[in-house]
Structure 1
């Protein structure tokens, strides 16, 4: 915790690196005889921005290749449409790779948020905390 009351918590596993793991960022504010912790629990903002730029970029890559292929076929230049078709296929493949990676990494870190909330509740005297089980998907 810093002097201004802001805190940052991230769950980690030994020898495992997951940039998409949830990070708790918050602020402790005095309230009555105790304090209130307010904040967010999400993947780090730079990782979310990078993921959006990557998926958006390869999505545009795919669309440009697809439109060039359609334009080539529509104008009767079927031979020349092969190059843009490869570009479209590469864009689609890169999009699938990126989306799959993001999905797997989010799935690997999906219980980290519950761990952080449970750890905080165990370390602090918590009033009104119902536990993360309210947001857990049924197993």
Structure 2
């Protein structure tokens, strides 16, 4: 239990060192064992003209959650090499939750996937997008 809390505290410090994440109010709620959960409260500034959470906000959450999941598996020196995202339905809710996990860790690349869920006031999750990414281990070939 203490190891999990220590890993989460480390991940939270890394997130707090990212000015853009601080601007958005993102928080890391789980981190370790090749997985990470990033959350962000939805506010009007994060919506597009039809009232849905902007796709760029979902992309930010996917990118960061994928990278944190990879870092939880192979260490902190990781960078996004690329990712794809598929939007499944308009994002509506109170909280955006990005839940990512490692699919395959490698020496130079880590493949991860992420579910992007909107959480309503009652705590019900609705899947609104999925992402898959390749994370480069810094210092490896091509990084």
Higher strand content, 1 or 2: 2
Higher helix content, 1 or 2: 1
User: TM-score, length-normalised on structure 1?
Assistant: 0.33
User: TM-score, length-normalised on structure 2?
Assistant: 0.32
